[in-house]
């Protein structure tokens, strides 16, 4: 079962929740993984640091008929790609789920399948560390005519990992330790060899709950932490019944939902609640006309969520128009809201707001009363979603209808982060410029590119690349800073970033080639020293010398007053004349004295 939210025991500081969701929602970033052919997303997960993990498969050629590999991508909270890892099992390799543990280790499960060569399949589970290093790979099954498929994954609070799927037509569940040791493997036997599990959940006592198909019926099984079967329940709606999601509340009550043959010729949505001992408490039917065709894609859809009060939300309806139905813990309908498209996934946040997304690229947020909070649209088919404690929403999908694009061999795995404008990390300032206006002062300027910062941090170092120390914290909408009291003859390096309660932006980009770093030297030409220079040089034209002295005195007075010399052309001529008398040129000056003075002081103002 995919982990939709962060568990409640984690200490969280929630951002002014009274009006967070009333803020404007923006697309913070969009990232694509393009393997060159057909890439298909499957699942998404997030960790406590805001890193995002997406898994799917990537074909080596066009169309689904070519062999595919697992592909897993990690992004940081700003959407920067941190790593990409592939798994090639030599067959058609397809992941089915991903979870992240308390140390940001990543677990991906799925299967390797070759129906044409060996008529065999292996379930495959991989563990990566936070840096993407492969720690272990575990396989189950194999051999001629041996079929093992893993369709879902979950973890417990001890970071044990559980996978479920099928083995030769019987529901198979395996528990691995964090070190990759198989602790137990259990089958729910079926003499007809016509069953498989599709979803899994684990409660706070490490009891394991599995649901799936069994001879055309729902089948739900509970195991204890040691793999002992505690109970098994089946539901027969009179026709073909397809379950697809299981969830467990804080009291050990179990909920499953899926579809059942309808008298109207389509499928109804059937939701069942069991207590912790497996007693059926209620069965609820939502009449429909036609649901998503049952194939591999169906296993990735997750249609059920539970809120903090024990209310249940399901996705129900037909392929073209899905409704969100909210039941209370007694099974009473509290409200129905229309999604109006092919919904694929449902997530819930810490305030019990829900997020529904689907194949038409639409993501809608509803409050706990069914009121629509916001809607975002994208040009892709969305498969999976997740929401973090700051109410950022992440969706993973691909271009167009993925099942159709497969034949064209042209799709990629696209991940989008939606955030609330005020609570998104601000964008970095731009065009940072540092100008030495005197031997003792550097003026900084930048472009404020964000409208949601709380302020700016100005940092300084005397070494390129740092270490840096913060010398000023400025209010929002700032775009300049004067750094005074500096040591003449010293080169200083500066960087500036925006910040708000969510976090800090990247550092400003600059024009001088230093990434996020602006350089200024206080070793500028002191206009007052020109007076002594001019007096010490013999100038053939006494009138020129008098004029030069007048200009130098004016420049000196302006500099002492902290002002800028305005007459660039006059000053340039003055300095050239003095230098010529000394047999020098502008380009021969050491430490770029003249260039710093003219270009940095005058051009920049």
Determine the Cα–Cα distance for residues 365 and 395; give it in Å rounded to an integer.
Answer: 13
CB 374 within 8 A of CB 26: no
CB 178 within 8 A of CB 125: no
Burial class (CB in 10 A: 0-12, 13-18, 19+), 132: middle
DSSP-assigned beta bridge partners for residue 282: 273
CB 409 within 8 A of CB 32: no
Tell me: the pLDDT tens digits for 153-182?
999 999 999 999 999 889 999 999 999 999
Which domains, from first to last, does the chain contain? Answer: 430-521 (2.60.40.10), 529-602 (no CATH)
Q: What is the pTM of this model?
A: 0.69
CB 209 within 8 A of CB 201: yes
Nearest to 458 by CA among 497, 432, 485, 515: 497
Place of tokens 């899994």: 200
Which residue intervals of 529-603 are DSSP H helices? Answer: 529-536, 542-560, 568-581, 593-595
Give the chain's residues under pLDDT 70.
Answer: 1-23, 60-66, 115-119, 142-145, 262-266, 288-301, 318-320, 341, 399-410, 421-423, 510-605
pLDDT for residue 118: 60
Determine the Cα–Cα distance for residues 244 and 250; give it in Å rounded to an integer.
Answer: 21
Q: What is the 3-state secondary structure (H, E, C) of 56-71?
A: EEEECCCCCCCCEEEE
Task: Please write down the long-range contacts of 251-255, taking CB distance under 8 Å and 24 or more positions apart.
Answer: 251/276, 251/310, 252/203, 252/205, 252/207, 252/276, 253/281, 253/310, 253/329, 254/201, 254/209, 254/220, 254/222, 254/278, 255/304, 255/306, 255/312
pLDDT for residue 5: 34
Q: What is the 3-state secondary structure (H, E, C) of 136-197?
A: EEEEEECCCCCEEEEEEEEECCCCCEEEEEEECCEEEEEEECCCCCEEEEEEECCCCCCEEE
Q: Is residue 403 within a helix (H) or strand (E), and if so which, with residue range? A: helix 402-408
Backbone angles phi, psi at 64, to 5 degrees: -75, -15
| CA distances in angstroms from 468 to 395, 446, 465, listed in the order given | 37, 18, 8
Task: Tell me the residue ranges of DSSP E strands in 351-490.
Answer: 354-358, 362-366, 372-377, 380-387, 393-399, 413-420, 430-438, 441-447, 455-461, 469-475, 480-483
Determine the Cα–Cα distance for residues 483 and 432; give it in Å rounded to an integer.
Answer: 14
Determine the Cα–Cα distance for residues 308 and 250; give it in Å rounded to an integer.
Answer: 9
CB 113 within 8 A of CB 145: no
The β-bridge relationship of strands 170-176 and 354-358 is unpaired
CB 50 within 8 A of CB 384: no
The first and second tokens of residue 557, run together, are 């007075």
DSSP 595: H
Determine the Cα–Cα distance for residues 380 and 397; give it in Å rounded to an integer.
Answer: 6
Nearest to 432 by CA among 369, 524, 495, 375: 495
> How many helices (H) and strands (E) in the chain?
5, 40
Nearest to 468 by CA among 434, 492, 439: 492
Q: Is residue 404 within a helix (H) or strand (E), and if so which, with residue range? A: helix 402-408
């Amino acid at each position: 079962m995919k982990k939709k939210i962060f568990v409640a025991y984690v200490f969280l500081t929630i951002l002014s929740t009274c009006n967070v969701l009333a803020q404007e929602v923006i697309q913070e970033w969009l990232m694509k993984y393009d393997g060159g052919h057909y890439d298909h997303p499957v699942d998404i997960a997030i960790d406590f640091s805001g890193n995002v993990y997406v898994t799917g498969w990537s074909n080596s050629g066009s169309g689904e008929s070519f062999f595919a590999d697992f592909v897993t991508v990690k992004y940081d909270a700003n959407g920067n790609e941190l790593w990409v890892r592939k798994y090639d099992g030599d067959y058609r390799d397809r992941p089915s789920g991903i979870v992240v543990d308390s140390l940001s280790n990543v677990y991906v499960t799925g299967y390797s399948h070759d129906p044409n060569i060996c008529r065999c399949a292996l379930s495959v589970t991989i563990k990566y560390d936070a840096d993407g290093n492969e720690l272990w790979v575990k396989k189950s099954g194999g051999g001629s005519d041996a079929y093992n498929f893993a369709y879902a994954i979950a973890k417990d609070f001890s970071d044990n990992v559980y996978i479920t799927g099928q083995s030769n037509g019987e529901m198979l569940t395996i528990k691995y330790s964090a070190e990759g040791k198989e602790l137990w493997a259990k089958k729910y036997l079926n003499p007809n060899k016509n069953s498989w599990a599709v979803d899994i959940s684990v409660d706070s006592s490490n009891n394991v709950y599995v649901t799936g198909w069994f001879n055309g019926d729902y089948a739900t099984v509970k195991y204890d932490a040691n793999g002992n079967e505690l109970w098994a329940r089946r539901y027969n709606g009179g026709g073909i019944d397809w379950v697809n999601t299981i969830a467990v509340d804080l009291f050990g009550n179990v909920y499953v939902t899926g579809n059942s043959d309808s008298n109207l010729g389509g499928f109804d949505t059937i939701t069942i609640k069991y207590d912790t001992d497996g007693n059926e408490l209620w069965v609820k039917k939502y009449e429909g006309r036609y649901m998503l065709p049952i194939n591999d894609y169906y296993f990735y859809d997750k249609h059920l969520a539970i809120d903090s009060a024990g209310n249940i939300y399901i996705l129900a309806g037909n392929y073209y128009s899905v409704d969100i139905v909210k039941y209370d813990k007694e099974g009473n309908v509290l409200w129905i809201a229309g999604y109006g498209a092919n919904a694929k996934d449902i997530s819930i946040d810490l305030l019990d707001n829900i997020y529904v997304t689907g194949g038409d690229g639409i993501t809608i947020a509803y409050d706990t009363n069914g009121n629509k909070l916001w809607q975002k649209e994208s040009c892709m088919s969305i498969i999976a979603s997740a929401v973090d404690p700051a109410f950022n929403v992440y969706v993973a999908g691909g271009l167009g209808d993925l099942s159709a694009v497969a034949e064209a061999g042209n799709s990629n795995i696209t991940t989008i982060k939606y955030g609330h404008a005020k609570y998104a990390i601000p964008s970095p300032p731009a065009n940072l410029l540092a100008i030495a206006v005197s031997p003792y002062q550097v003026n900084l300027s930048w472009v404020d590119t964000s409208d949601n910062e709380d302020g700016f941090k100005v940092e300084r170092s005397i070494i390129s690349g740092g270490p840096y120390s913060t010398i000023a914290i400025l209010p929002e909408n700032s775009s300049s800073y004067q750094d005074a009291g500096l040591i003449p003859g010293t080169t200083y390096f500066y960087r500036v970033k925006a910040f708000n309660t969510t976090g800090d932006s990247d550092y400003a980009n600059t024009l001088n080639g230093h990434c996020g770093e602006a350089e200024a030297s206080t070793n500028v030409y002191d206009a007052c020293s020109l007076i002594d220079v001019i007096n010490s040089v013999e100038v053939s034209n006494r009138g020129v010398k008098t004029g030069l002295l007048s200009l130098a005195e004016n420049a000196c007075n302006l500099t002492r007053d902290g002002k800028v010399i305005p007459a660039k052309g006059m000053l340039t001529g003055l300095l050239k004349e003095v230098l010529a008398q000394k047999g020098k040129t502008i380009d021969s000056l050491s430490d770029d004295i003249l260039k710093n003075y003219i270009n940095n002081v005058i051009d920049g103002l």
